[in-house]
Structure 1
Amino acid sequence: MPWLDRQGRFSALRALAFALVLVPALILAYEAWTGQLGSKPWTRAVHDTGTWAIRLLLVTLAVSPLRRILDWGKLLGIRRMLGLSVLAYAAGHLTLYCIDLAFDWGLIVSEIVKRFYLTIGFTALLGLTALGVTSTDGMIRRMGAKNWQRLHNLVYLIAGLGLLHFALQSKIDVTQPALLNGLFALLLLYRGLNRLKIATTTPVLIAAALLTGLATALCETAWYALTSGVSAWDVFQANADVVVYQDLGFLRPGHWVALVGLAVAAVHAWRAPVAKPRRARRSDGVPAQTGA
């Protein structure tokens, strides 16, 4: 059962995670049942399931760095469940797309081949399927730990493809893609710090949050400037509107990315263990307490 740990005991964390990953699907089902999906319900359902697949993929990728930064080992217990939920929403995304096209397989295949963003999205789904099929303990033993790890390291490439697919199909408004790409960049930066053996102290985490927030704002600016011809300076200045108008409604993706990173830094500082006083030894070998 998804709410039990490996020892068969009830896990509140696993139960909560399982309940939360079901919420988007239940909301979508309720809105469909009550006719709240608008004039194109299948299209809306396709978009919603795809968006949640990307969101949950980022949550899954956040498990390992947050486990290290927050010193919360139990988080690893929900990583597989989250990964499989990503695959479920992505598969639902494709299934609903096929329903929207009335299972016209010729049209479906031609659309995937002709439209670049669909080709990218379908490639990402194939990658997620490979990761889902090989996620069991039995597959880890058959493949060997090193081969299994090499395959599952492709999740970062798959996430990049999924985010590109999301951005390209969003066309005009890329607020959500910019936000999710910024959070992905923050996770990659955390991974880089770990690879480079740089201690994730509170000042380092604050610097990472501010740097990634700025990078997100610059990338959003560049996207609009290149795709819409809008003045890059005007787009970048929009990030200052929250200060000018003092309204949280003017928060841009760069702000949210920085705030998430700062929240991680704050929790890290709160959970950091208090350093214990060092004990010196007297010449006779008996420990002596240092300090006043």
Structure 2
Amino acid sequence: MAQTVQVHGYQLWRDRRGRISALRIAALALLLVPVALALQAWWSGQLAPRLLNDLVHRTGYWALLFMLIALAITPLRRSGRFSGLIDVRRLIGVGAFVYASLHIGLYIADEKFDLVKVALEIVKRLYLTIGFIAWLGLLALAITSNDTMVKRLGALRWRQLHQLTYVIAFLSLIHFFQQTKADFTLPATICGLFGWLMVYRLVAWRVREPSMLVLFAMTIGVALLTFFGEAIGIALWYKVSPMTVLSTVFDFDLAIRPGWYVLGAGLAVCLIDLVRSFMQPERKQRSPGAGQPAGGVSLVPRQRA
């Protein structure tokens, strides 16, 4: 059995054996990308006049994106046969919580630290209520995202608690969507990607490692739902026919519709699965009952030596 050594909590670049991890360093660099982009925008004068309001939206967007990246670890790990990815899922999940906390903190600062006003706004405005509930959920996951809490809660209860990841991500999507004024492209794209990740988990309940053909069929289905879902949303908002929106699907000069992004992401996973199946032909299909439940994927899971 691999030996586990004592690693201080601040040494995020080291794995559980105390070795410097290139994968962890890459994950840390990824988590710092939003900071670099914000600094670049500030340096070039591209930040909005209301600086704090701009940063509020930026941090909220990245918190949601990192939640999706954490959820994407499971299909990427299984399709790529790269178990090492599990080592950075906790790091990315906690990073999502940090950005969500900055999101709330900057909102409070934008309201001149008037906590009474902030509390009243959260109570009165539904999208703020939903966002705050999502943050509380992330807080609970972050507090319990360590091996000590796994031992205290027990593996089963800990895993059940971290199933809240899916609910939190869903609430965050609603919070994000409710702030959309007119352009549905980005929210629809994120919803489509989240839908793909959830359908993957539903399929994985029956087959722990879905075949490439199953992944392909799933990708086509979710991409089509994304195309139709966006068309219906725009049609309801602008009071036009959904067919008018769908007629622009292949007009790439006008815009690249969210369904194409979902299709591209899903096909990328299919390609990874296909390549790795040739490299490791001994792959075996296992039912969820053969090991850990296929759906038991959390935002910040326990890591093992």
Q: For 1:64, which of 74, 82, 85 is the aligned residue?
A: 74
2:237 is matched with: 227
Using the aligned pairs only, state the percent identity.
42
Structure 1 unaligned spans of 5+: 277-292
Given the alignment of the two structures, is residue 266 of structure 1 paired with residue 259 of structure 2, yes or no?
A: no
Q: How far apart, CA to CA, are the structure 2 residues paired with 1:103 and 1:139? A: 33
* C-alpha separation in 1, matches of 2:220 and 2:203: 15
- Cα deviation for residue 196 of structure 1 reads 1.4
Question: Which AA in structure 2 matches 1:117?
Answer: Y
Whole-Å Cα distance in 2 between the matches of residues 202 and 150 of structure 1?
Answer: 29
Matched residue SS, 1:238: coil
Using the size of structure 2 for normalisation, the TM-score is 0.85
Name the residue aligned to 2:199: 189
SS of 2:81's partner is: coil
Displacement, 1:30? 4.3
The structural deviation recorded for 1:275 is 3.9
TM-score normalized with structure 1 length:
0.89
* Structure 1 equivalent of residue 258 of structure 2: 253
Q: Which is higher, the Rg of structure 1 or of structure 2?
A: 1
Q: 1:71-86 to 2 correspondence within 5 Å?
A: 71-86=81-96
1:151 aligns with 2:151: no
- If each structure's helix is expressed as a fraction of its own residues, which one has the higher value? 1
Alignment check: 8 A CA contact 2:75 2:269 kept? no
Alignment check: 8 A CA contact 1:225 1:232 kept: yes
Deviations 1:9-64 (A, max 9, x none): 01111111111111112321443466431211111111111000111100000112
Counterpart-to-counterpart distance in 1, 2:187 and 2:136: 21
CA distance in 2, matches of 1:152, 1:57: 13
Deviations 1:172-196 (A, max 9, x none): 1121111011001111111111101
Tell me what 1:139 maps to: 149
| Matched residue, 2:182 | 172
Structure 1 counterpart of 2:173, one-letter code: L
User: Following the alignment from structure 1 to structure 2, what is the Cα–Cα distance between the partners of residues 181 and 66?
Assistant: 19
Unaligned runs of 5+ residues in structure 2 are 1-10, 283-305
1:199: Cα distance to partner? 4.9
Alignment RMSD (CA, Å): 1.5
| Cα distance in 2 between the residues matched to 1:275 and 1:58 | 30
Residue 141 of structure 2 aligns with an amino acid whose one-letter code is L
Kindly provide the amino acid, as one letter, of the partner of residue 92 in structure 1: L
The separation in 2 between residues aligned to 1:199 and 1:71, in whole angstroms, is 10
Point out the more displaced range, 265-274 or 2-11.
265-274
- The match for 1:122 among 108, 129, 132 is 132
